[in-house]
Amino acid sequence: MSVIKKLLIANRGEIVVRVMKTCRKLGIDVVAVYSDPDKNLSYLKHADEAYHIGPANPIKSYLSIEAILAAMKKSGADAVHPGYGFLSENSLFAHAVVSAGATWVGPPPSVLAEIDSKCFCRRIATDARVPVVPGTVEITKNAEDIIRFASEHGYPLVLKLDKGGGGKGIEQIGEDGQAKDAFERMSRIGLMAFGHPESYIEKLIAAPRHIEVQFLADRAGNCVCLGERECSIQRRYQKIIEESPSPVVAKEDRETLFRHTANLVKAMGYQGAGTMEFLRSDDGSFYFMEVNARLQVEHPVSEFLTGIDIVEEQLKIASGEKLDIRQEDISFNGYSIEARVYAEDPVSFCPSPGTISRLRLPAADGKHLRVDHAIEEGCAVPPFYDPLLAKVISWGESRPEAIEHLRNALAEFQIEGIKTTIPVNILILDSREYRTGDLHTGFLDHLYSKAVSEDGSIKPLWPNM
């Protein structure tokens, strides 16, 4: 329990720049780390110190506990912020940081180790009287388990990895005949991608909305919710547009979601910033899905609405400070929307690494527009890491105003040399369904069936725009 003086950010890309910004405000020194292909990233020059941690292969650099701990010791950093992805929810890494005498900016290692299992979280939620997606809370042992579950509850159902994430490890099953293959495929993917083959069963919720609650929890057991985020627009189970407030969450729903979140936080013994993810079925029921035990990509949306710097709160909580915000002090102002710009083909979503030959970023005033990124003209976009290039986040007093600001910014945003998903973002914002708030996780497939020509090009939905 001590004030952080020198923070190592164990990550790459825009999130390093984001965390660095708060460190500057608080007078905390920043230690950055980099792999071979990242050695020329411009933010490394702005960090107080930067350490080389290994080759392109993330297993030997950004995912190497050993390499990052060595940089931590060499630099004398007294704390580690893991960002998102990579080692951010890895309890062994958190434990190693704490054991080395440094402060871990995240939930305690013992909590991370437990909530890593979705079945564990589903049991905890059930005990805390928080509804979960109907299904099993025990590991599926074989295909017969699936067939037995289906004979009672029917198809379609989904097989999910107990310790999966990032949209990987979800298999839909429609009949008995698919159970064996799906079970074997899931075990193989789980073992290969996460080192854990275990899976469990959920009933398929048709055309659900994905709604999550951002919260902060301190060591003393205080918990505040920073509102919900609607993240229903996804490609391959990965988010592409997020917004707050959700067009469908009424005041009573919000109170219920906040109550569920506080109960889950308490039951888990969670400390730090985090997110509880819920699914909303079309009959309006909410089901707890999973906890994201990290700072999330889409956190700026909640920061715009509440005026709270979530990274600053993370650092304060990690230092042992009590939350000085009470729920009744938090107001949710206006509307905020985030568009993720990925280095991908806008139709096939095939990755598009390369070099950014020309770049024109939208003008961010910090009031109506914020652009979080770590790119510049001439910089390489390596094929080894996540395709996220930038996040464009808008704020408006009304939802149409926020949409307008975001659309203008995306139209202004020019990247040459690689393909990006900017045309997809614009297509979504221009669609009638988006403007009326008719969102669900199958939104993009539905939109593409109307907007993509047979030759694979995107035709504008409104030719006049």
Rule CB under 8 A: say whether 387 interacts with other proteins.
yes
Q: Is the dihedral of CA 115, 118, 119, 125 positive or negative?
A: positive
**Taking contact as CB under 8 A, which single stretch among the options 124-132, 240-248, 370-378, 384-392 is the one that binds other proteins?**
384-392
**Taking contact as CB under 8 A, which single stretch among the options 56-64, 108-116, 217-225, 432-440 is the one that binds other proteins?**
56-64
User: 280: Cβ–Cβ under 8 A, 6 or more apart, which residues?
Assistant: 208, 209, 210, 211, 248, 286, 287
Question: Smallest distance, Å, CB 54 to other proteins?
Answer: 12
Give the residue with the Cβ less far from other proteins, 101 or 195. 195
How many residues sit close enough to other proteins to count as binding (CB under 8 A)? 15
**Taking contact as CB under 8 A, which single stretch among the options 50-58, 258-266, 269-277, 443-451 is the one that binds other proteins?**
50-58
Q: Is 435 a catalytic residue?
A: no
Which of 182, 233, 264, 343 is close enough to bind other proteins by CB under 8 A?
A: 343
Give the residue with the Cβ less far from other proteins, 126 or 355. 355
Question: Smallest distance, Å, CB 350 to other proteins?
Answer: 7
Which of 206, 207, 350, 465 is close enough to bind other proteins by CB under 8 A?
A: 350
Tell me which residues in 238-267 interact with other proteins (CB under 8 A): none
Rule CB under 8 A: say whether 166 interacts with other proteins.
yes
Rule CB under 8 A: say whether 57 interacts with other proteins.
yes
Catalytic residue among 209, 294, 340, 370: 294
Question: Smallest distance, Å, CB 439 to other proteins?
Answer: 24
Rule CB under 8 A: say whether 278 interacts with other proteins.
no
Rule CB under 8 A: say whether 165 interacts with other proteins.
no
Phi–psi pair at 58, nearest 5 degrees: -60, -30
The tokens for 198 are 């275990």
Give the residue with the Cβ less far from other proteins, 190 or 396. 190
* Contact by Cβ (8 Å): 65, 93: yes
Catalytic residues, which ones?
294
The binding site for other proteins (CB under 8 A) comprises 55-57, 59, 166, 343-344, 350-351, 353, 383-387
